[in-house]
């Protein structure tokens, strides 16, 4: 792996750890609101983002390159509603998708086929991430401010479980 691609991977590792941090902040918000199902949904996101970061971390090391951890930016901590949280989640996932695409561009420009192949899993994962968030956001938009419906959605989100991904 050349230095340009190594730097791009290190930047993405930082972005993945930031995503974990961002979702931890949302988890804390939902805990303060006593929305345990939403909290659970975010806990699964936290675990997924950690797995994504570690997957890239391990890949860089397997390729004999150097992992350089960077500072993690402080995430937002307050929202006006669960809907606003999920609007931010969708915006964030779209940003992550653009960052994965940019990393893939570097891998393609450097003709690093192993990296291109590795990143294919991440692209597919991003399609799934955006779709999952979109479904919750559509439901939140549908129910508006109906507290009973919010309670029902909270119960539904409590059933989400983390399945460790097989990356690469």
* pLDDT tens column, 41-55: 999 999 999 999 999
CATH topology of domain 3-71+79-157: Ferritin (1.20.1260)
Give the C-alpha separation, 66 to 135, whole Å.
38
**pLDDT over 70 percentage in the chain:** 100
User: In this predicted structure, what is the pLDDT of residue 159?
Assistant: 96
Span 148-166, average pLDDT:
95
Does the pLDDT of residue 168 top 80, yes or no?
Answer: no
Q: Is the dihedral of CA 98, 103, 108, 109 positive or negative?
A: positive
pTM: 0.95
pLDDT higher than 80, residue 71: yes
Across the chain, what does the average pLDDT equal? Answer: 97
What residue spans of 34-112 are helical by DSSP H?
36-62, 82-109
Q: What is the pLDDT of residue 145?
A: 85
- Phi, psi (rounded to 5 degrees) for 51: -60, -40
Helix then strand count (H, E) for the chain reads 5, 0
Is 88 in contact with 156 (CB distance < 8 Å)? no
């Amino acid at each position: 792996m050349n230095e340009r691609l190594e730097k791009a991977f290190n930047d993405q590792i930082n972005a993945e750890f930031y995503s974990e941090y961002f979702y931890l902040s949302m988890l804390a918000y939902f805990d303060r609101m006593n929305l345990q199902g939403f909290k659970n949904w975010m806990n699964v996101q936290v675990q997924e983002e950690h797995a994504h970061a570690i997957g890239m971390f391990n890949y860089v090391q397997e390729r004999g390159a150097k992992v350089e951890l960077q500072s993690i930016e402080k995430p937002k901590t307050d929202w006006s509603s669960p809907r606003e949280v999920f609007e931010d989640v969708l915006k964030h996932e779209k940003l992550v998708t653009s960052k994965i695409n940019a990393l893939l561009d570097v891998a393609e420009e450097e003709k690093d086929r192993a990296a291109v192949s590795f990143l294919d899993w991440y692209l597919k994962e991003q399609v799934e991430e955006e779709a999952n968030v979109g479904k919750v956001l559509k439901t939140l938009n549908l129910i508006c401010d109906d507290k009973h419906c919010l309670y029902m959605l909270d119960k539904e989100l409590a059933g989400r479980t983390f399945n460790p991904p097989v990356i690469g």
